């Protein structure tokens, strides 16, 4: 699928249907687990293609599960939801993975609706529709599709608004990871193995699903919300619960994510985050002066970047930890985590910082994956492949989403490349006057 166009698969049904593993995370919620397992026993997905794995996160007493349900238990070492989900994945066999929390009971069509897109497109990541109800006093084997609406509690309005505004995540962007909920999540096993499982460094409630969803988005995911995949959470939304510590807990989650998700709106505004948004790579420079001028103008536009320079020019950047050599571990980590990579074959001077920032912000969202900035081009700067009229590449801006999608499918067809003229930057010719540059007269 190009970009995030899951709508191109509307109406299609996988044939054959996939094998599906439902991983249910549990901790001291036997009654809620009973309701969820009863609901899973009523799914309309063929029983021979469905397995359920309950992962207990070290409850004082292991939960009771019916025959045919696989139970795995991990030691009680604190809150380890990420580790529990990962253990469930390792203990399962399905082609499609669905994740539920023990207190979230799905309606009969949930598995079928959640597994459709991941079975058709391995990069699809689907979030279901979580509703809230007060099931106190309701029999655990009562049909949730009937009892949920009868006992419904308010759902978080901001999430419903986000799904409506984004057309069920069809119009996803770099901040749409916030609309993916781990309690009602599905993806293909192959895609989860490609991007990695849940981050087990999360040891308090919240955030592990958003971190994974961000990593999935950067790794080429197609995000989709499935309105028909309804599951009922027993109790109010977390934001609606009374707790004097709720804001402090939410702040702790936000602080952790600010170091892991480097996009605007998530990263710090003034502080430097632990994860760079952009990796800039300068392949070669004839002198330290040309390298210095290039890097200074690039960092003026992209101050949160990591810049890799030839080792021979590192000494002039000793005071700035953002500038590293190719063999530095910081460069290796940025290669794995950056949202965008900017490749410079030779030093350039950025004349208009806003234009570089705009170009970097434009890739990976929608259908655009790469921007080639060229000098001497006879093209018109419109969408399409780099023109054949003799333009020389000045710099190349590439989204990690486009890179990952091309690696997944072995083709570049799912994201566009746009060739634009270098009207806001230029190659550094000869030996520049740094005094004139710094003084503003050259």
Q: What is the mean pLDDT of each run of 10 residues along the chain (442 residues)?
A: 95 97 97 98 98 96 95 90 96 98 98 99 98 96 97 94 98 95 97 95 81 95 98 84 69 79 84 88 97 97 95 96 92 91 97 95 93 74 44 93 94 93 93 94 85
On whether the CB atoms of residues 100 and 24 are closer than 8 A, the answer is yes
The pLDDT value recorded for residue 219 is 95
pTM of the predicted model, to two decimals? 0.90
Nearest one of 404, 406, 238 to 335, comparing CA atoms? 404
C-alpha 366/C-alpha 173 separation (Å) is: 8
Q: What angle do CA 271, 277, 283 make, to 5 degrees?
A: 115
> Which value, in Å, is the radius of gyration of the alpha carbons in the chain?
25
Nearest one of 348, 371, 365 to 419, comparing CA atoms? 371
C-alpha 150/C-alpha 134 separation (Å) is: 9
The pLDDT value recorded for residue 242 is 56
The pLDDT value recorded for residue 243 is 65
Packing angle, helices 208-218 and 400-409, rounded to 10: 70
Fold classified for 6-241: Spore Coat Polysaccharide Biosynthesis Protein SpsA; Chain A (3.90.550)
The pLDDT value recorded for residue 239 is 62
DSSP 186: E
DSSP 29: -
The dihedrals phi and psi of 414, each to the nearest 5 degrees, come to -90, -10
Kindly provide the residue ranges of all beta strands, DSSP E only, lying in 74-155, ordered along the sequence: 96-101, 104-106, 124-133, 152-153
What residues does CATH 3.90.550.10 cover in the chain? 6-241, 278-439
Other Cβ atoms less than 10 A from the Cβ of 302: the count is 23
The pLDDT value recorded for residue 205 is 74
Instruction: Considering the domain delimited by 278-439, tell me its CATH architecture.
Output: Alpha-Beta Complex (3.90)
Given the DSSP bridges, would you call strands 222-234 and 104-106 parallel, antiparallel or unpaired? antiparallel
Helices (H), 121-165: 144-150, 157-165
Our measurement of the distance from residue 418's CA atom to the centroid of its chain's CA atoms, rounded to an integer in Å, reads 24
């Amino acid at each position: 699928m190009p970009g995030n166009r899951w709508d191109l698969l509307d109406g299609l049904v996988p044939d054959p249907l996939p094998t599906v593993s439902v991983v249910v995370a549990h901790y001291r919620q036997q009654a809620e687990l009973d309701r969820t397992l009863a609901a899973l026993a009523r799914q309309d997905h063929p029983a021979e293609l469905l397995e359920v794995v309950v992962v207990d996160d070290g409850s004082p007493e292991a939960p009771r599960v019916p025959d045919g349900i696989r139970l795995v238990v991990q030691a009680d070492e604190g809150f380890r939801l990420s580790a529990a989900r990962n253990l469930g994945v390792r203990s399962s066999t399905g082609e499609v993975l669905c994740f539920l929390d023990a207190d979230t009971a799905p309606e009969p069509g949930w598995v079928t609706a959640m597994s459709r897109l991941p079975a058709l497109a391995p990069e699809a990541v689907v979030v279901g529709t979580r509703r809230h109800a007060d099931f106190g006093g309701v029999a655990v084997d009562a049909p949730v599709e009937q009892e949920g609406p009868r006992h419904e509690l308010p759902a978080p309005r901001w999430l419903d608004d986000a799904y409506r505004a984004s057309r069920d995540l069809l119009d996803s962007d770099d901040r749409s990871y916030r609309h993916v909920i781990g309690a009602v999540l599905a993806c293909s096993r192959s895609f989860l193995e490609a991007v990695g499982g849940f981050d087990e460094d999360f040891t308090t409630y919240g955030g592990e699903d958003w971190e994974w969803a961000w990593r999935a988005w950067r790794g080429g995911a197609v995000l989709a919300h499935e309105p028909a995949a309804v599951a009922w959470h027993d109790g109010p939304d977390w934001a609606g619960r009374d707790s004097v510590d709720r804001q402090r807990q939410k702040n702790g989650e936000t602080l952790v994510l600010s170091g892991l998700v480097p996009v605007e709106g998530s990263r710090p505004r003034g502080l430097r985050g632990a994860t760079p948004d952009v990796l800039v790579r300068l392949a070669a420079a004839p002198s330290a002066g040309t390298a210095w001028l290039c890097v200074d103008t690039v960092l003026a536009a992209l101050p949160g970047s990591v810049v890799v320079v030839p080792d021979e020019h590192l000494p002039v950047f000793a005071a700035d930890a953002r500038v590293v050599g190719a063999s530095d571990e910081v460069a290796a980590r940025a290669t794995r985590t950056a949202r965008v990579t900017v490749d410079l074959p030779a030093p350039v001077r950025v004349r208009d910082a806003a234009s570089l920032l705009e170009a970097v912000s434009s890739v990976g969202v929608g259908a655009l994956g790469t921007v080639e900035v060229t000098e001497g081009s006879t093209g018109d700067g419109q969408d399409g492949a780099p023109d054949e009229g003799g333009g020389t590449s000045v710099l190349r801006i590439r989204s990690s989403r486009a890179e990952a999608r091309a690696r997944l499918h072995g083709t570049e067809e799912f994201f566009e490349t746009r060739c634009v003229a270098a009207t806001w930057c230029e190659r550094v010719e000869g030996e520049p006057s740094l005094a004139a540059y710094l003084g503003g007269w050259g």
